[in-house]
Amino acid sequence: MLHLHRILLRRLLISWLLISIVIGSVLAYHGIENIDDQLVELATADSQRLSAADLSLINGHTGDGALQRLVRDLMRDRFVVVELYDRNREKVLEEINPGFAAIEDYLKQSPHDFPFDGRPHYQRYHVGDHGVVQVLVPLKEASGATAGYFEGVFVIDPETLARLRHELILSLLTILAVVLLTTVALYPVILSLNRDVVRYSRDLLKGNIELMEVLGSAVAKRDSDTSAHNYRVSIYAVRLAEAAGLGDDVMRDMIGGAFLHDVGKIGISDAILLKPARLDEQEFSIMKTHVALGVDILAKSNWLQRARDVVEFHHEKYDGSGYLKGLRGEDIPIAARIFAIVDVFDALTSKRPYKEAFPFRDAMAIVKGHAGSHFDPRLVAVFEGMIEPLFEDIRRSSDHEVERMLHALIERYFLRATGELKAA
Ligand SMILES: [Fe+2]
Ligand SMILES: [Fe+2]
């Protein structure tokens, strides 16, 4: 459960950060756009103070004193630079606030960009500590024709910039707090929904595992009376895979495969399956078809596909002399190579209608004798290092206890792991 909390909190925190970054960027963008829009409106309003007479003066290039006074008026109000251009984009008049000559020098470095669409245009610059906005407004005659251009340069002083930035940060923090509160309020809801999902998927998984056991037992009923062989080989296989350092995925494939390895025997006739003597060549070739039959049965269930590696390749041999495909070495899936060892080992150490159980040492000698031919020699070495105490443990346990041991492994590799997976 702790694990689930950690994952959920991490995800919520990441979402919170991402939402905050997106909202913050949008806010910042709109905040700046807003300032620009206001300045463009100001410049447009000011440019409209130029009368029709002023416009003809501009194009008459007279530089009339009244025009100059008006421009100076505008400048005192809010501009640091005001320029007027005639309809040919020739500069007619320029007034610069002497304190801001450096800004005009800076702006002169980039050539003028006159608006062609007849609408105000603006450009934003940063000069030193100052935010500078240069607005160009086309001047219109009553007929709608462009009579010239009005250019105003605004300087946003550092205090105003700081105030705007402060306001922006404040509204950003408000939004972050709101998003965080929403997240915190939603947490219990998400948690309980998640618990439901985990519970449902556990139930579903349990159903699948039961189906796997039922199928395995159904086959076992045909050639022996108990499922004990299936339980034992599943435990041996998982323990060998653990000792070989394999991952949880292989463990799950292994348990499913060990349980269902001979599921295809359901399609083999009693005369062959239960024959108390050695099979002749023709009978043996029919017996071999249990592998393909098993693959065919598993094909009906997506979930049981995990058992396929073992079902399809559990009679392959390391030297390539096995069946059905005659795969060799590491071409045989690891789950099947592991399973081949434990299946033979358990058959040797178990009593069958036609033979007594081999003592542990004799069985091990046979397994080792086939390392490199039937079995993967590296896995045989690992097997030799871990099997004896486990074998003793299982030998002393009842069928019921063996079943419980396997269920503990199923709990570890399927149920617990899946609970965590679903939580993630
Ligand atoms: Fe088999
Ligand atoms: Fe078997």
Tell me, yes or no, whether 181 lies in a domain: no
Cα(343) to ligand 1 centroid in Å equals: 9
Supply the CATH number for residue 113's domain. Answer: 3.30.450.20
Instruction: Say yes or no: 96 and 56 in one domain.
Output: yes
Tell me, yes or no, whether 175 lies in a domain: no
Tell me, yes or no, whether 174 lies in a domain: no
Q: Which of 387, 392, 359, 393 is nearest to 375 (CA)?
A: 387
Cα(206) to ligand 2 centroid in Å equals: 24
Pick the ligand that lies closest to the CA of residue 262.
1
Cα(216) to ligand 1 centroid in Å equals: 12
Cα(231) to ligand 2 centroid in Å equals: 10
Q: Which of 134, 162, 169 is nearest to 28 (CA)?
A: 169
Instruction: Say yes or no: 74 and 129 in one domain.
Output: yes
Cα(184) to ligand 1 centroid in Å equals: 55
What is the pLDDT averaged over residues 5-22? 83
Cα(414) to ligand 1 centroid in Å equals: 24
45: pLDDT strictly greater than 60: yes
CA distances from residue 115 to 47, 103, 119, 148, 307 in whole angstroms, order as listed: 15, 22, 7, 11, 72
Cα(342) to ligand 2 centroid in Å equals: 9
Q: What pLDDT is recorded for position 62?
A: 60
Pick the ligand that lies closest to the CA of residue 341.
2
Domain containing residue 95: 2-166
| Last residue in a domain, options 145, 166, 187 | 166
Pick the ligand that lies closest to the CA of residue 232.
2
Counting DSSP H helices and E strands in the chain, the numbers are 16, 5
Cα(289) to ligand 1 centroid in Å equals: 9
Instruction: Say yes or no: 158 and 211 in one domain.
Output: no
Share the mean pLDDT of the chain.
85
- How many domains would you assign to the chain? 2
Note the pLDDT tens digit of each residue in 202-223: 888 889 888 888 888 888 888 7
418: pLDDT strictly greater than 60: no
Cα(229) to ligand 2 centroid in Å equals: 7
The Cα diameter of the chain in Å comes to: 126
44: pLDDT strictly greater than 50: yes
What is the pLDDT averaged over residues 61-86? 74
For tokens 């929403």, name the residue.
182
Tell me, yes or no, whether 183 lies in a domain: no
Cα(291) to ligand 1 centroid in Å equals: 7
Q: Which residues, at least 6 apart from 408, have a Cβ–Cβ distance to it below 8 Å?
A: none
Task: Band the pLDDT of 422: cuts 50, 70, 90.
Answer: very low
Count the Cβ atoms, other than its own, within 10 Å of residue 213: 20
Cα(40) to ligand 1 centroid in Å equals: 84
| Last residue in a domain, options 116, 147, 166 | 166
Supply the CATH number for residue 294's domain. Answer: 1.10.3210.10
| Last residue in a domain, options 144, 166, 188 | 166
39: pLDDT strictly greater than 50: yes
Count the Cβ atoms, other than its own, within 10 Å of residue 150: 24
Note the pLDDT tens digit of each residue in 149-164: 888 888 877 777 788 7
Cα(401) to ligand 2 centroid in Å equals: 20
Instruction: Say yes or no: 267 and 357 in one domain.
Output: yes
Q: Which residues, at least 6 apart from 214, have a Cβ–Cβ distance to it below 8 Å?
A: none
Q: Is the full-model pTM beyond 0.85?
A: no
- Token pair of 239 as six digits: 């323990």
Tell me, yes or no, whether 179 lies in a domain: no
376 burial via Cβ count (<10 Å: 0-12, 13-18, 19+): buried
Instruction: Say yes or no: 254 and 390 in one domain.
Output: yes
